[in-house]
Amino acid sequence: MCVFCQIIKGEIPAYKVYEDDKVLAFLDIKPVNPGHVLVISKNHYQNMESISEEDLSALILVVKKIGAKLKERLGVSGYNVIENNDAISGQIIPHIHFHIVPRIEGDNLLQWPGQEYKEGEAEEILKKLKN
């Protein structure tokens, strides 16, 4: 059984910051910065494509609530919302979850580097994705 499902069932303890019938939010045990929260669906879905729209809506609304609480109650001026989708992107636990990472001045967290499209590449990708 996945570790998040075990947390939901109460088999593994967690520092819960929010819970309702569809969503659980708790402190990450290895935070990037203090206040790093994981927001998970109580129903097991591996990734973004498999989650129902209803459960995804519930999940993202809690992400919004927790983000606001980080700003209001911890005094952070911003945060990153990250969802690693499948192993190639860095998803370690195959249960959809969002990281809310408070940003602190001078925390030295880097954004990924951007790159230029090759000649005609953007147009080709657009054709594949549009419609």
Q: Catalytic: 44? A: no
DSSP state of 120: T
Q: Which whole-number Å values give the CA distances from 68 to 33, 75, 78, 115, in the listed order? A: 16, 10, 9, 32
Selection from 24, 28, 21, 19 nearest residue 5 by Cα:
24
Question: Residues near 86 by Cβ (< 8 Å), separated by ≥ 6?
Answer: 46, 47
Among candidate residues 36, 44, 95, 97, the one labeled active-site is: 97
- Residues that are catalytic: 97
